[in-house]
Structure 1
Amino acid sequence: MRSGVQALHVGCAMWSLKSWPFSRPPGEKLRAYAGWCNAVEGNTTFYATPARQTVTTWAEQTAPDFRLIPKIPKRITHELRMQGAEEELRSFLDAIEPLGPRAAALWIQLPGSFGPADTAVLSRFLRSLPAHFRYAVEVRHPDFFADPRGLERVLAEHGAEWVPFDTVAFFDSPPTSDAERDAWLKKPRMPRRDTALTDRPILRYLGRDDPARTVAGWQPWVATVAGWLREGRSPTVFVHTPDNADAPELARRFHAEVRAQVPELPPLPDPAPLPVPDEPLTLF
């Protein structure tokens, strides 16, 4: 572990949403987002391996220290369950190569049916992966949380991180909006887990559509992340809400609350200014 306070990266589940306070042409949306947050979840790669040229444009729109953590495609993790997936894996690794250091880790999100009895499969898969990447694993089977020791041993053996998805605050009380009701049916009920296995912990946090409730629910994480930074770790935190309308502002607020506890933490850059409209705004 390196001494001294490292960077805190914060971001959202995506880099474009119509309601967000910045807008750019389709080929510039990631650049606009990167003016607000310094990390983003690579959810798009979970659904399909992108074209290499598409990934090249992502790299061109972000600084080398921006963290885009691509998910290994569900074809590999969910359909093939990490077995007999050599061709698909080669295609994926070739596609994301232009990201360079921006690919701070490769994200292995596993289905809820993947339990402790399958841990040996994960170990073999991690052993087969190129050593120059970091890896982060997200599990959803409840037995892993009841007794985490077996999974922790496997992850430690391969230098991989365990990605918690904290939904405790979200499920604390019944939904109050359409977006919350939809998320209530789709999101997993996950416990809070705050043990970092590496110097690059990654956290997903799901709040509520009410920003005040989201902020109240993340207070334990402010202290945890501040502690990680004091230990010399460099965390990445992703803030979700059911509608994600305020997610960029909330991610920046989380960073500010951590910095209030760790003043030596470098601040995020000021958000890029909003574009000036070509014509004056009118009421009609």
Structure 2
Amino acid sequence: MRLHVGCAMWSLKSWQGRFIGSSDRLRSYSGWCDAVEGNTTFYATPALDTVRSWADQTSPDFRFVLKLPREATHVRQLSDVEVLSEFYRVIEPLGDRVHALWIQLPGSFGPGDLPILSRFLRGLPTDFRYAVEVRDPAFFHDPRELSARLAESRAEWVPFDTTAFFRTPPTSDGEREAWLKKPRMPLRTAALTDRPIIRYLGRDDPARTIEGWQRWVPIVAGWLREGRTPTFFVHTPDNADAPELCRRFHDEVRALVPELEPLPVPQALEPEGPATLW
């Protein structure tokens, strides 16, 4: 029984000296969380040696949810599977650490485009699991056809829960920026597969973030009792406390499911060396 929790990145300036050290930042992060969103792969396929370093810095139990390159999803609009051949070659060192490959689709992708998605999913390598995120609200108003097509490929539907964030006006510069950029998505709490993935956006105030995720705690606990392996990603506009919040969510679910093993205790960071002139 596993509940994976993680953030949208494994390195942030405000985490330095608190959650991560000055080197091997992924290794430090993996002491706090056991999953991460791989957003960088959307913009560029990393070098093979870089991916090998990701594997070296994480335990076999750590999980990556890697976003498919935008060349496939946005530029070529799901018309070309072959463009992903280098991406698949490069991520091979991660092995089972690849929990799912994440297909984030633009808001322009609507219900009329579902045959294109079905063809694309059928053409992808079957030794990976896939998770699809859509942004057109029409899918949420009538989810049946998308759910059926995803089920054909054992693909999960990834909801981005922004409902708590948009409940009240922003109160910080970071929240004001997110208010303009983040999608206002309808709430979805159903799982299609044994590996549901939730992306949750809270507020910069940790107490309000915790308050906003309360609906998810019993849902995730129920999935665990059903034998599913959920992954819960915590976002806030500044992400300053995100690793600690991930552990708090895990603890709240574990209070309902005591047989869920706790996350490992983070290792103390090595103190930074004294400043020198050299």
- The answer to whether the superposition gives a TM-score over 0.5 is yes
Query: Which residue of the partner structure matches residue 144 of structure 2?
Result: 149
Given candidates 24, 27, 35, the residue that maps to 2:21 is 24
Say whether 1:117 aligns with 2:112. yes
Shift of 1:274: 2.2
Report the secondary structure of 1:200's partner residue. coil
Shift of 1:223: 0.8
Q: Equivalent residues in 2 for 1:48-197 (5 A)?
A: 48-86=44-82, 88-197=83-192
Q: Distance in 1 between matches of 2:36 and 2:106?
A: 21
Given candidates 5, 9, 24, the residue that maps to 1:10 is 5
Bigger drift between 129-138 and 269-278 goes to 269-278
Shift of 1:166: 0.1
Q: Which amino acid counterpart does residue 173 of structure 2 have in structure 1?
A: D
Unaligned residue ranges in structure 1 (runs of 5+): 1-5
- How many residues are matched? 273
Query: Which residue of the partner structure matches residue 41 of structure 1?
Result: 37
Q: Distance in 2 between matches of 1:166 and 1:132?
A: 28
- CA RMSD in angstroms comes to 1.2
Query: Which residue of the partner structure matches residue 241 of structure 2?
Result: 246
Unaligned residue ranges in structure 2 (runs of 5+): none
Listed one character per residue, the Cα deviations across residues 145-201 of structure 1 (whole Å, up to 9, x for unaligned) are 010000000000110000000000000011000000000010000122110000010
Q: Equivalent residues in 2 for 1:261-276 (5 A)?
A: 261-276=256-271
Shift of 1:23: 3.1
Given candidates 187, 202, 207, the residue that maps to 1:207 is 202
Say whether 1:237 aligns with 2:236. no
Q: Distance in 2 between matches of 1:218 and 1:136?
A: 21
TM-score with structure 2 length normalisation? Answer: 0.96
Q: Distance in 2 between matches of 1:112 and 1:65?
A: 33
Regions of 4+ moved over 6 Å: none
Shift of 1:85: 4.5
Q: Distance in 2 between matches of 1:191 and 1:262?
A: 28
Q: Distance in 2 between matches of 1:232 and 1:38?
A: 19
Bigger drift between 162-171 and 44-53 goes to 44-53
Q: Distance in 2 between matches of 1:10 and 1:56?
A: 22
Bigger drift between 269-278 and 13-22 goes to 269-278
Q: Distance in 1 between matches of 2:80 and 2:195?
A: 29
Query: Which residue of the partner structure matches residue 220 of structure 1?
Result: 215
Shift of 1:278: 3.9
Shift of 1:19: 1.1
Give me the identity figure in percent: 68
Report the secondary structure of 2:89's partner residue. helix
Shift of 1:279: 5.2
Q: Which amino acid counterpart does residue 25 of structure 1 have in structure 2?
A: S
Query: Which residue of the partner structure matches residue 258 of structure 1?
Result: 253
Q: Distance in 1 between matches of 2:101 and 2:272?
A: 39
Shift of 1:38: 0.2
Q: Distance in 1 between matches of 2:49 and 2:72?
A: 22
Q: Which amino acid counterpart does residue 245 of structure 2 have in structure 1?
A: L
Q: Distance in 2 between matches of 1:25 and 1:217?
A: 32
Q: Distance in 1 between matches of 2:274 and 2:154?
A: 54
